[in-house]
Amino acid sequence: MSDELKIVLEDVKEKFDTVIESFNMVRENLDRSRDENKQEHEELSKDIQNLQADMVVVKKDLRDLKSETSSIRHDLTEHRTSTELHNVKSRDKAV
């Protein structure tokens, strides 16, 4: 083999080595990014599950609050009715 051919082949080999090294670096970066994305996805899924659990509690608390408010409204209405009737009787007696 001629010296020129050896030089050309050596140059081609070095370029292939550079391409292979670059490819491996890109693959490593992609693998790392995939792993990071997977971890972020898992964390996000946990956060969503926690939010859903919190929403169940909030909905229950809201139902309880609505029930208590309804009960207070009912009691207040009864109190007003009782007070108004009492005031009417007092006026009738005073006349």
Q: What is the pLDDT of residues 45-88, one digit of tens each?
A: 999 999 999 999 999 999 999 999 999 999 999 998 888 766 65
pTM (global) more than 0.75 = no
- What's the chain's Rg over C-alpha atoms? 40
Residue with tokens 């139902």: 63
Taking residue 28's Cβ as centre, other Cβ atoms within 10 Å add up to 10
Distance, CA of 83 to CA of 91 (rounded, Å)? 12
Q: Say how many residues make up the chain.
A: 95
pLDDT(90) > 70: no
